[in-house]
Chains A and B, each alone.
Chain A
Amino acid sequence: MQEMIKSLSELYGPAGREEAVAAYIRDVMSPLADEVYTDTMGSVVAVKRGSANGKKIMLAAHMDEIGVMITDIDEQGFLRFSNIGGISPFTLIGQRAEFADGTIGVFGFEKLDDIKDLKLNKMYIDIGAGSREEAIAKVNIGDSAVIHKECIIQGQRVIGKAMDDRVGCAVLIETARRLNNSPHEVYFVFTTQEEVGLRGARTAAYSIDPDYGIAVDVTLTGDTPEAHRMAVSLGKGAAVKVKDASVIAHPMVKDLLVSTAKAKGIPYQMEVLERGGTDAGSIHLIRSGVPTGAVSVPCRYIHTPGEMVDLGDVTACVDLLAGVLEEPWE
């Protein structure tokens, strides 16, 4: 599990370019599911069939991560870029960029009178090219890059980029490995393009047409110095979503998650997220409506290269999902 989270974290997969993550997940999921396929939008769908009278339940975790896209290359070979998803320029200072083919660059910025003036359009990527020609031999306009960062496991804590939401992907994989007794037809969906508007989940849910949905993603915490007030802490268990900006968790799904956690003694905490959204936002509005909830892995420093999660929380999420999928869902 730890090694899997590390591998997933380090893979390249900005929104729209999730192929490497998809290939990894297809390999891992093939022996764990009855059927594995990739849909038109690139989402990986793994189906585990249940008994005849079960429900069709869709679990979703997104494979994509935030990143940058090259918009211009100047005569000296410096690359200008725009954001893919919510990226703050301050988190890029001192970081390395990684392209799909493994090319590495560093983030630089123009001389500024005040660092507060830092915007993405004052920044560039330097891949060490001496000229525009040399640069375009490696990188083209429209190519995407992600942060290059090693994933570190330190005791119970994992630190790395793209925990949002590769840790959710790991939770889904581990849940599939664990699940043997579900009456339900469970769709493990590894979605694309969440960071740019919950897009992969939307089309996947449309084609699967599930009875219920559960999104698995990271959520913010309020347990760091002078943090925004929020009653979620690292290490205190799986977070059961009440609401975020994209969804109000269906009361039936939320209550079933809570009662399962209580019955099985799984540590959990309630999550009221005042900003941000997740795949549940897309899933519940598909067709004539899908009752949908979400289980979140508490994560500090979201959308930075140092996203931090707790392995105990990850286990609690797996326990909770495996548990709830054995319930009758009526």
Chain B
Amino acid sequence: MTGKDLLRALSGGKGVSGYESDLVPLLSQSFAPLADEIKEDSLGNLVMLRRGTGSEPRSKIMLAAHMDEIGLVITGYEPGGFLRFANIGGIDDRVLLAQEVIVHGRKDLVGVIGAKPPHIQEPDEQDKTVKMNDLFIDVGLDDETVKQLVEIGDMATIAQQPVELQNQRHAGKALDDRAGVVVMQLCLEILSKLSHSADVYAVATVQEEVGLRGAVVSTYGIVPDIGIAIDVGHGDIPGVPAYDTLPLGKGPGIAYGPQVHPKLYQRLTELAKEWSVPYNVEPSTSPAGTDAYAIQITQHGIPTALISLPLRYMHTAVETLDWSDLEAAARLLALFICSVDSEFVEGLQCF
């Protein structure tokens, strides 16, 4: 499976935080030729190990990209067969109205999110966002049948298959952060043609959107010498200052801030310059918000870096990215991994 095929399949797949297991067969299959060992940990993180050629004990490099997506959870029924719902992760109420969804009940049911039409709204309702609390899902079933097929607590995802725009740009849901998972695959593909001494643990983490939970436990299980999170950063759009965004098509962001080990940042930027990999520095003052934070403070502390893929319209069904940024990120990571030797790892212990 090519990287683009994987991106399309992952974006269209389902895997709300806590319920990512449907993605596992797809990932296991596409990573199998690149990994020596693939296993799920007890919370469902998929750990794909590619062994290095160094002598034991080899250094361990953990790559982490989260495979969960934000989504909806059914909370109740309304007379007429309608379903009430709440959010899993950071859903923007404004983008829910009139979406098609898939309710993952006893079987998958296509539904639409409806609300009161403009004609019959009160004047003071018309200039306000319809709150999630006032929205409902209509799957077309009557009261009795809907209760047989959908239970409170069932998950729902936005029904959206990805599309390709001009210039190798892709739009779809859940590219945050399945694009990061694709980068790990592209990276391992490059590594399969090169020699690297360290073991590489590519981890598709779970439950990032609800609190970096998968990274907390997977890092504990692996205890890597180096951790690198691959996540998305806000792409350039009108009305947002350039210093708050990353331009699409100009390479990944290399984060710099409290959660990034300075020597990892230094090595990544040096390699990017040396090998002409495009990148932007992403100043990142707040440590929370990506798996990097969870990785860094695990056990005795892990030297950690963060690579950000520029992504527009985050947490909508039309998240948009540029394929060349994924390729650049994968190349940079592969160059980095090949450059790691035991001397470098030892050097990380002293600032």
Contacts and interface: CB of A to CB of B under 8 A. Distances in A.
Nearest to A285: B216
A288 B217 contact: yes
Nearest to B216: A285
A40 B316 CA distance: 46
Nearest to A241: B153
A265 interface: no
A243 B88 contact: yes
A281 B73 CA distance: 18
B344 interface: no
Given A231-B76, A243-B88, A251-B18, A289 B42 contact: yes
27 contacts: A229-B75, A229-B133, A230-B76, A231-B77, A231-B152, A240-B153, A243-B18, A243-B73, A248-B88, A250-B43, A270-B151, A270-B153, A272-B75, A272-B86, A284-B213, A285-B213, A286-B217, A287-B217, A287-B220, A287-B221, A288-B41, A288-B218, A288-B220, A289-B217, A289-B220, A289-B221, A291-B42
A84 interface: no
Contacts of A248: 17-19, 88, 207, 210
A267 to B, nearest CB: 15
3 shortest interchain CB distances as A-B pairs: A248-B18, A288-B221, A289-B217
A242 interface: yes
B84 interface: yes
Nearest to B155: A242
A325 interface: no
A134 interface: no
A121 B86 CA distance: 35
A271 B75 CA distance: 8
Given A248-B17, A288-B221, A272 B152 contact: yes
A229 B73 contact: no
Contacts of A251: 18-19, 21
A290 interface: yes
Interface string A46-74: 00000000000000000000000000000
A290 B17 contact: no
Contacts, number: 70
Contacts of B220: 287-289
A285 B216 CA distance: 7
A216 B315 CA distance: 33
A143 interface: no
A133 interface: no
A270 B19 CA distance: 17
A253 to B, nearest CB: 11
A254 B73 CA distance: 15
B75 A230 contact: yes
Nearest to B213: A285
Nearest to B223: A288
A228 to B, nearest CB: 9
B217 A272 contact: no
Interface string B243-270: 0000000000000000000000000000
A60 to B, nearest CB: 17
Interface string A228-268: 01110000000010110000111100100000000000000
A286 B299 CA distance: 11
A39 interface: no
A224 B145 CA distance: 27
A35 interface: no
A250 to B, nearest CB: 7
B89 to A, nearest CB: 10
Interface string A273-315: 0100000000011111111000000000000000000000000
A204 B153 CA distance: 29
Nearest to A249: B18
Given A248-B210, A288-B218, A242 B73 contact: yes
A284 B218 CA distance: 12
Given A243-B88, A250-B43, 5 more contacts: A229-B84, A243-B73, A248-B210, A272-B73, A288-B220
Given A231-B76, A288-B217, A289-B42, A242 B152 contact: yes
B41 A289 contact: yes
A73 B222 CA distance: 51
Contacts of A250: 18, 43
A271 B77 CA distance: 13
Given A248-B207, A274-B86, A291 B152 contact: no
Contacts of A272: 73-75, 86, 152-153
A272 B132 CA distance: 15
Contacts of A289: 41-43, 45, 217-218, 220-221
A250 B218 CA distance: 16
Contact of B152 (A270, A286, A288): A270
Contacts of B19: 248, 251
A229 B131 CA distance: 14
Contacts of B213: 284-285
A75 B274 CA distance: 72
Contacts of A291: 42-43
A262 B221 CA distance: 35
A271 B73 CA distance: 11
Interface in B15-35: 17-19, 21
A289 B206 CA distance: 11
A285 B151 CA distance: 27
B42 A231 contact: no
A257 to B, nearest CB: 11
A242 B19 CA distance: 11
Of B18, B84, B153, most buried by chain A (CB within 10 Å of CB) is B153
Nearest to A228: B133
A229 B18 contact: no
Contacts of B18: 243, 248-251
A249 B220 CA distance: 20
A91 to B, nearest CB: 25
Interface string B205-237: 001001001001110110000000000000000
Contacts of B152: 231, 242, 269-270, 272
A248 B17 CA distance: 8
A285 B41 CA distance: 12
